[in-house]
Chains A and B, each alone.
Chain A
């Protein structure tokens, strides 16, 4: 059983609780142990880097130090949390002065970070060769042939990690591999790594709504029945604000937006309620009531 320090991030507590429960279910099914990081604090999102980069770094350094104390690597379901923790980790490993200063600050919580933790996005755990083989073996018919638009989002692939070629960062394929292993039919569309707007939904509504419209149209044009996301901000934007897009552009999108862990969970036979499905503002019924799904169990 591989064990990780699980860093849920602030949104997964309530707004994106379905991502949390579905991640837990999928991890359980695939033999991955997720131990919630003790007393974790906010990663700072993008707001902290806008005001003070050293503060942004120290917030993430605390989480890294807690994981190191526990002797575990971190997995994060949210793109922004993942990116912040990963880049802070890289910065502290690269810059000895920064690390020294952060450790001076961490003393205030009896902590220290010596660069021993690795940070992954939770999807990375489920796309290893072993995990994909396990998924292929265990997947039922629940999402067989479902046309899914895999929406990576931006910060899961950018900034590009060392060793990743530009072509790979521009056109990653591991999300598609995951969906195929689960029996679904990933569709190709050009905006799979384009930003959803994230906090612009708050700070520049018009910009975010346009970005969402572009994404939704692109996925619909490609024949997607559902968009799968890997980040709570992406999901919330695409789903909760779909109405805003329709109002602003006179469209009538009704595209279900689910977390990849919810789709994976369905494939692995986890019940709808246990995956937090049903809490969406845009109904996911179209996904659940597909012909091949009609005979599958829907209970918890």
Chain B
């Protein structure tokens, strides 16, 4: 049976109100949702399972157990189980270390053929965890994949966007892949899916060894990009303003 792991994190809904006090995010007005990029990863996993006519899709999340309700959406979409890896951790290094430890102990016999992650989280956007996780597991990784084909023979053909074009790659399993927007269109959850998701297991794994953070984060400062806009009366006047400022080069 094919095993597919999907790493999912929870992020503040971008529609939330972002307030900051004492140098941290005010979480009282925040709703946590599944990181949008992770939905592309999960959809890719579900499509692989369908394409190969079977397999098990397990969602791993470094989150507190209070995140289980939000994570149930992955079960409603079609994942088979959720594993919440609890543990102290504030930076990517720690998250990758906890995920690597949890995956290794969960799949004690052999690592899953495919480990999928979102390209980055939408809150911090550092895009570090997938590559760190792969290196810790001793696996190859391909980040920001926009097309994923093949796999029947243990070799995937992938595409990823680079500046001014795309790279076409081949990679053999087991592999860590991070999903870019455009890889697929994540399915909507149906009422039936939600009902079935309620019956699926959410397991809590604690006690991963905690490594020291490698990066410290200082106080968050709210920022404003507001500028004083000079309005032009018509298109010609606008072109003139740019010309006067020496912006037409």
A and B: interacting chains: no
Q: Which residues of B contact A (CB under 8 A)?
A: none
Q: Which residues of A contact B (CB under 8 A)?
A: none
